[in-house]
Chains A and B, each alone.
Chain A
Amino acid sequence: MIQVLLEERCVKCNLCVNICPTNVFEKRKGEVPVISRQDDCQTCYMCELYCPVDALYVAPNADEAVEISEQELLTTGLVGSYRTNMGWQKGQKPVAAQDPAYKFYLPSGV
């Protein structure tokens, strides 16, 4: 579930509000958005992927909220890791161009 929104990183672009398929975030005038419907989160990680400044962290736990402190989180190096792994960070190329699925698990096209 979406767990952390790092307010000091957030640039208030509200992209997460726009792109969340289950409408978890709420826009606020002049302020950073808030996670207002955490229970509706389907743990699809799309908000993290779209966040241009790595201000969001989705915990992998789908059924329950698991508290994690911002400080603790920042030491893990996990914030923004999905975006990096997909090649969506600024200056990166999409990793889809290196997708090796054809080499090993889709050999016969299934």
Chain B
Amino acid sequence: MLYGYGGKNLWIDLFTQSYETSATDEYMAEKYLGGRGFTAYLEYTYTKPGIKPLSDDNHLYIASGPLSGSLVTGAGKVEIGAKSTLTGGYGDSNMGGHIASEMKFAGYDLITLKGNSEKPTVILINNDKVTFQNASHLWGKGALESEALLKKQFGEDYQFMVIGPAGENLIRFACINHDFGRQAGRAGMGTLMGYKKVKAIGIKGSKGFPLKDPARVLELGKKMYSDTRNKPGYRYWTDYGTPGVVRWVNENTAFPTKNFFTSFMEGYESLAGEVMREKIVVTDKGCFGCPTPCGKYSHVVLGEKDVYVEGPEYETIALLGGNLLLKDIKEVAYLNYVLDDLGLDTISGGNVLAFAIEALEKGVIKESDIGRKVGWGDVEGLVHLSEMIARKQGIGELLAMGVKEASKALGGGSQDYAMEIKGMEISGYESRYAPAMMLSYMTADVGAHHNRAWAVTYDVQKGRDKLEDKAKRVIELQHIRPLFDALGVCRLQWVEIGLTLQHYAPLFEAITGREYSWDNLLKISEKIWNLTRVYWFREVPGFGRGWDWPPKRWYAEPIPDGPAKGQLISEDKLNYLLDDYYTLRGWDKEGLPSVDKLKELELDFVVEDLKKRGFYQY
């Protein structure tokens, strides 16, 4: 028996609206754990190579982890993976809430959506029973509105994943929404769900799953919760959540401001966690099993608008606040609501909107393309433009491709300020004065996303001019942080509260019965990292070093003002960072993992596959 797992995989065929189940693969559980380990392994081995992201063959994988749904702090993280519709490379997106736990209570470690539905569909999973419901009445409706209607129709005890119009209309950075405010935001997972014509997936489970040593889980789990509560950082974090870092990021000049033009926002105090709590928050909102809920649920009245929204969390404040110069937390929250309901990722969305305003200022886009004036800090104009994007109206159709493709099409020098790496828009840390964070973005395996290695704190601690040891720390973080995504739990109790990592391996053993040291687990994480890397090489012709390069603004334009004025990481320094990183990883000058490294990580099947495709011929 597989302890700690739901035990089954659910394979849904949308062409025939049918399904089958299989036992969870013990080899996969042992070698790849779950969550991100499963999505990486399946994208490489099960999804056909060379397919277009928007095609019938691109399966959507939903994977919980072995710690999801058990008495471990933050046990509510699910990984959703597929070939990315935004980047064309390895894609996954991690989401909190109650999906990971609920699918395990229903008996599933993995749910795979294959093929496409002809008509808009809701997939309803109630333990062993799976049904396909007509979703025509919801098609075109907002994600938040649809979730409320679905709960009314099918029952409050279903946990839903829902897309908005952006997913339906195949906007490349469409997200999946859940629980009125949690999102699998990145890499276009909502886009693929829209392509499959799946408006929503509802899951309800009451079966639970087996633990190897439940009494020990009870004992260790209670201690983990008590230790979390007793940490000094607990109170502040719980009161303010991720918006609590707005002040720190500005004080340390890493706040994306005005399309990453600068690193510090005058008046950022009005977006700080304390202000938000006082002005708009109505309740804390935790994911499954979370003792430190960063989710803040808000009620916003702005003119005639009266809305409820979870958030804004830090990334949204950075990309819709700083990056668009919205200085009122209510305006940020309202735009957050609009993007959530449309089903647009707020990080990519904030980037695309900022890019559009700068392109408008520079004459690359014209006012007539948008049909009205839109400027920095102009919430009404930004709402208008967001709707144009989600519905592919006018210039919205071009912007819907993301800043990389939009800037390519627009030309006029706009690629210099299209803030993306590997086609993914950069998340909330301006990195021209933070080499480790810069390297983290350059090498993140889905594109420029912060969650793989939040290294900006290391820059601040160890010296912001210093390049030495930055690559080493980024690699360490890239193994530790994504490991949480394979285990199906949240990392924030460790990152933010300082809970020691020693809690995890004993609980893992009590839950699964498998004795892995923390180092064993990190080795698995390194294997997953290398697997996602080779996926890019296999799937993207010409992939290599150039794909790890940041946009020109980040290496050619010094920060123009504020406390970090004049700072820049030159191309020479970027090369130093990348060389150091590749060498430490056992990768060549283009960033291709060596045969020895892959074999050390038991990725022999990858070596064989890549050799057949002409790699390693020299």
Q: Are A and B a genuine interacting pair, yes or no?
A: no
Binding site for A on B (CB under 8 A): none
